[in-house]
């Protein structure tokens, strides 16, 4: 676990934000915060600073600050739902990262996508507030997203979108999971621990060779994980076997002939060649050529080197002026609900 809560608290309270600017915060993590998974945590009851990361993220959403979470996989794969929930709570998204070479592209691409989405926030805000006034209570974000997306897509609304090359051939960022959507409705880290972590087996983060040293993982494809279980050692009785006498027979020793490795040797001297003229049966010219710089091949061909396995590296790109995706519409609705402190059905 790491000190995630102080970083989120500083983003909400310490940093200064311009009122009319597009506000984006990016959280890069390869481990959960203190207090989520008590196994191996020095502070199982929460961060020693006393800050709650869930409460800090909720405050970011109220201030109009969109949080993007970047998970350094495969170390963060087992906590993907949690990191995805943190981002979605503010209307942001989770992006897996398998190499630091893509970090700059992710940051710049996320900022450009967020700027293009903020231009549509006024239209979505109007519909969300109208829906809240008609219902007089919690807003059904799923139904409102469906209606808004149909209207915007029929109107040809476009926005920028971050994409990445996945091993399966797809290019979309991982979509919001039902578990992450549920976790985004919880209000404290204790509630997340009691309702999510306590009811499921958190697998240990798999060890895999990394391209960065020790911080990031080698691939976005989750490696095989193992469930933490207590192993009991069973002692088996020692069975003594009777020694069996064997009769030794004399065998003839075979002479082992070691083959000497052929070497490439340099031949020095001259080479004489004779050319015969076809017009007669006598020698016409005799040529003598130096072999000072020639080599005689006396060794066998070298064995072919085995091909190296190249790990899959995802490439992050930014698609310009694509039709608004339903996930983007969903995030716009979430932004408006959170910024206006509305309740969701």
State residue 197's pLDDT score: 79
Residue with tokens 């990262």: 97
Tell which wins on pLDDT, 264 or 199.
199
3-state secondary structure at position 10: helix
Interacting residues of 251 by C-beta distance below 8 A, sequence separation 6+: none
CB atoms within 10 A of CB 225: 15
pLDDT at 224 exceeding the cut of 50 = no
pLDDT value at 63 more than 60: yes
Question: Residue 218: what pLDDT?
Answer: 38
Q: Which of 173, 236, 182, 228 is nearest to 205 (CA)?
A: 228
Mean pLDDT of 210-234: 42
pLDDT (0 to 100) of residue 312: 52
Residue 30 and residue 76 in contact, taking contact as beta carbons nearer than 8 Å: yes
CA distance 92 to 244: 73
Across the chain, the runs of DSSP E, i.e. the strands, are 23-29, 65-72, 94-97, 158-164, 203-204, 226-227, 265-266, 270-276, 283-290, 295-296, 316-323
- How far, in Å, CA of 262 to CA of 290, rounded? 25
Name the pTM for this structure. Answer: 0.68
**Confidence category of residue 319, pLDDT binned at 50, 70, 90:** confident
CB 36 within 8 A of CB 188: no
> Mean pLDDT for the chain?
78
Measuring CA to CA, which residue among 180, 192, 181 is closest to residue 46? 192
Residue 238 tokens, joined:
């020692």
Q: Pick from 66, 71, 162: which is nearest to 109 by CA? A: 162
Which of residues 236 and 18 earns the better pLDDT score?
Answer: 18
The answer to whether residue 115 scores a pLDDT higher than 60 is yes
Residue 230 — very low, low, confident or very high, per pLDDT cuts 50/70/90?
very low
Total H helices, total E strands in the chain: 9, 11
Which of 185 and 293 is assigned the larger pLDDT? 185
pLDDT digits (tens, 9 = 90+) for 7-39: 999 999 999 999 889 999 999 999 999 999 878
Question: Apex CA 93: angle with CA 66 and CA 311, to 5°?
Answer: 135
Residue 265, pLDDT score:
52
Question: What mean pLDDT do residues 238-263 have?
Answer: 56
Confidence label for 345 from pLDDT (cuts 50, 70 and 90): confident
Give yes or no for residue 151 having a pLDDT over 60.
Answer: yes
Sequence ranges of the domains in the chain: 4-225+311-339
């Amino acid at each position: 676990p790491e000190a995630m809560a102080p970083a989120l608290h500083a983003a909400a309270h310490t940093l200064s934000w311009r009122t009319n600017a597009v506000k984006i915060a990016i959280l890069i993590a390869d481990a959960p915060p203190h207090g989520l998974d008590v196994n191996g945590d020095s502070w199982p009851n929460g961060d020693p600073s006393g800050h709650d990361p869930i409460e800090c993220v909720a405050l970011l959403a109220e201030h109009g600050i969109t949080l993007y979470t970047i998970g350094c996989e495969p170390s963060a794969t087992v906590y993907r739902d949690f990191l995805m929930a943190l981002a979605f709570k503010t209307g942001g998204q989770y992006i897996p990262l398998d190499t630091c070479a893509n970090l700059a592209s992710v940051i710049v691409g996320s900022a450009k996508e967020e700027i293009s989405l903020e231009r549509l926030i006024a239209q979505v805000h109007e519909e969300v507030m109208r829906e809240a006034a008609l219902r007089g209570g919690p807003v059904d974000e799923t139904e409102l997203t469906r209606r808004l997306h149909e209207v915007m897509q029929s109107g040809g609304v476009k926005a920028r979108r971050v994409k990445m090359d996945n091993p399966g051939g797809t290019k979309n960022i991982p979509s919001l999971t039902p578990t992450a959507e549920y976790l985004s409705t919880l209000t404290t880290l204790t509630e997340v621990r009691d309702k999510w972590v306590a009811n499921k087996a958190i697998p240990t983060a798999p060890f895999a060779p990394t391209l960065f040293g020790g911080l990031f993982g080698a691939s976005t494809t989750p490696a095989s994980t193992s469930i933490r279980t207590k192993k009991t050692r069973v002692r088996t009785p020692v069975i003594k076997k009777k020694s069996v006498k064997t009769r030794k027979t004399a065998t003839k020793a075979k002479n082992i002939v070691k083959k000497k490795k052929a070497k490439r040797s340099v031949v020095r001297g001259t080479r004489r060649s004779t050319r015969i003229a076809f017009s007669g049966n006598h020698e016409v010219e005799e040529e003598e050529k130096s072999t000072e710089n020639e080599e005689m091949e006396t060794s066998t061909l070298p064995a072919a080197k085995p091909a190296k396995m190249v790990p899959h590296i995802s490439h992050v790109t930014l698609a310009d002026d694509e039709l608004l995706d339903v996930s983007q519409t969903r995030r716009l609705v979430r932004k408006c609900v959170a910024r206006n402190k509305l309740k969701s059905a």
